[in-house]
Amino acid sequence: VTIGLPIYNAEKFLKFAIDSILSQTYTNIELLVVNDGSTDNSMAIVQSYQDDRIRIINDGFNKGLPFRLNQIAREASGFYLARMDSDDIMSPNRIANQVKTLENNLDIDVLGTNAYTIDENNLVQGIRYDNKNKTELIKVSGFIHPSIIAKKEWFLSNPYDEKALRIEDKDLWFRTASIYNFRMTTEPLLFYREFGSNYYKKYLKEFTSIFYVLKKNK
């Protein structure tokens, strides 16, 4: 499994993300870190790790997240490719559970998970989807983006639209949900950071891309 980790000025939370990846109970992983022209200490943090499972792409350019996600798909060496963001935290058994689910359900094209929502202090604020204390595999039309895993070939066949900045995932689900089998486990296997003063701002920046996607898809 390749775990793709794009980073851009991620120094505040990056160590939490990397530690959670390297601590996975499923150890046959490649951590592919792609730096999108960070100007902070992100690269120094990545380079401080001595783990031969880490591979770094650092070309010095800022090309945007959709470009980097497509680059990760091209460069990944794993049969499966898992998404991860630099400000989130994985549950230790996330990858093991997802691989087992995919191997036991060969009809699934893309698999996501539920997530606990956390704030800037890593404090749990809630759960994204109430699972009523049950672990189920349910059909969905979209995902919590950094929770997904699929075959590398799926990502290569369904690239992100590089003009759909900040909503590249929503655009991808819109284009593909009716064609592929999307499933999500109701077990929360990700700690998803979406609370705090800086996190509301990022949603406001989506509006320009929303108009582009609506026009493109009529």
The pTM of the full predicted model, rounded to 2 decimals, is: 0.91
Interval 71-98 mean pLDDT? 98
Tell me what pLDDT residue 159 has. 98
Q: What percent of the chain has pLDDT over 70?
A: 89
Q: Is the pLDDT of residue 145 over 70?
A: yes
Give the model confidence (pLDDT) of 3-44 as tens digits. Answer: 999 999 999 999 999 999 999 999 999 999 999 999 999 999
Mean pLDDT for all residues in the chain: 93
Place 124 in a pLDDT band, splitting at 50, 70 and 90. very high
Q: What is the pLDDT of residue 84?
A: 98
Residue 109 tokens read as 């094209």
Give 179-201 pLDDT, tens digit per residue.
Answer: 999 999 999 999 999 876 555 55
pLDDT at site 126? 94
Spatial contact of 58 and 160, defined as CB atoms under 8 Å apart: no
Q: Is the pLDDT of residue 134 over 80?
A: yes
Q: Is the pLDDT of residue 158 over 80?
A: yes
Residue 2 has pLDDT above 90, yes or no: yes
**Distance from C-alpha of 103 to C-alpha of 51, rounded to nearest angstrom:** 27
